[in-house]
Structures are given as structure tokens and as C-alpha cells.
């Protein structure tokens, strides 16, 4: 099973970007999604942006992932 995490693109330089979620930042490749713009939410998998989604869809997905983490005992209480 593959998992992609929605993160907001906060910086970009050509085909490299930096994304953020809950204060955590990661450098990613934008080679598969060159049209991504700063401020948009992108789906990040294995260090690559693989898709875009709107803010509401990103928020709902993040909430579901947090709920799953809590249920498995992996996330914040």
C-alpha cells in the first residue's frame, strides 16, 4: 500500500520545493508536478509531489490520517 500526505508548498526553486505540515518541513521534487505553485496543497509520496488538491480536501485527509494515528496509538492523544 502506498500513502501520499497532503502538504502545503511553501517554497519552490525550479523543480525542487519545500512543503510544510504542522510545522514540519521537507524538501521534495516537483519533477512530476511542475505546475505546482507556492501556497497550494500537494500530495507527497517518497519525496515527490504527485498530485494537487484543494485546501478543504487536504484538511479532511489530514484529519483522517490523524484519526488513524490516534486509533493505532501512534499519534497525539
* Between residues 73 and 36, the one the model is more confident about: 36
Of the CATH numbers 3.30.56.10, 2.60.40.420, 2.30.30.140, 3.20.20.70, which one belongs to the domain with range 5-71? 2.30.30.140
Report pLDDT digits (tens) over 51-73: 999 999 999 999 999 998 889 88
Q: Residue 64: in which H helix or E strand, if any?
A: helix 55-71
Domain-by-domain residue ranges, the chain?
5-71
Question: What pLDDT, on a 0 to 100 scale, did the predictor assign at position 77?
Answer: 53
Alpha carbons 67 and 15: distance in angstroms, whole number = 33
3-class secondary structure per residue, 43-55: EEECCEEEEEECH
User: Looking at the predicted structure, is the pLDDT value of residue 41 above 70?
Assistant: yes
Report pLDDT digits (tens) over 3-28: 899 999 999 999 999 999 999 999 99
Residue range 35-61: mean pLDDT, rounded: 97
Identify the band that residue 76 occupies on the pLDDT scale cut at 50, 70 and 90: low
Amino acid at each position: 500500500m502506498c500513502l501520499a500526505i497532503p502538504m502545503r508548498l511553501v517554497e519552490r526553486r525550479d523543480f525542487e520545493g519545500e512543503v510544510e505540515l504542522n510545522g514540519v518541513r521537507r524538501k521534495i521534487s516537483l519533477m512530476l508536478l511542475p505546475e505546482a505553485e507556492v501556497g497550494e496543497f500537494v500530495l507527497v509520496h517518497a519525496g515527490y509531489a504527485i498530485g494537487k488538491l484543494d485546501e478543504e480536501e487536504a484538511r479532511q485527509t489530514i484529519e483522517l490520517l490523524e484519526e488513524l494515528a490516534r486509533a493505532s496509538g501512534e499519534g497525539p492523544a
